[in-house]
Amino acid sequence: MTGDPKLTHIDSSGAANMVDVSEKDVTSRVATAEGRIKMLPETLALIQSGNAKKGDVLGTARLAGIMAAKKTHELIPLCHPLMLSKVSIDLEVDESLPGIRVLATTKVSGQTGVEMEALTACSIACLTVYDMAKAVDRFMEIGEIRLVEKKGGKSGHWHKDDAAPVGGLGT
């Protein structure tokens, strides 16, 4: 990290507060998060066939992720409510896991970023796959949920492949 790093949601007395974004410019902001859910090959085949007992696993997970992005401010205490202009959830079968890779992208024109909305959407999509297939596979593993890209706002464009500063993980 560079400079004097500070947590933006903590005030000078150490109390948690919502960041005041009223003076920030309204800009187009986009964030993408990824995650994965590993499972037994037989579970993946069942999901692909569309014959899961609870129905269309991937379609339901997509809708759950979209709904979760819209409710992020209700789940994460210091997130601002946002008027999202776009949420997309891509669920890709990956036989090499075996499992599903999830990519969630959120977009807004606003005064604050949409990283938490993308991360929440990705997490809930993965949890929904687990919920719908747990009857046949309790060994599923959700993981590697992370922000992969953000665009817009004062900090500009960031991608997970960008080099981290010496001595820190970056922001």
Which are the catalytic amino acids? Answer: 131
Provide the phi-psi class of 123: left if phi over 0, else alpha when psi is between -120 and 50, else beta.
alpha
**Rounded CA gap, 144 and 134, in Å?**
19
Whether the upstream peptide bond of residue 5 has omega within 30° of 0, thus cis, is no
Q: How many residues does the chain have?
A: 171
Q: Are 37 and 131 in contact (CB under 8 A)?
A: no
Structure-derived torsion over alpha carbons of residues 109, 110, 112, 118, reported in degrees to the nearest 10: -30
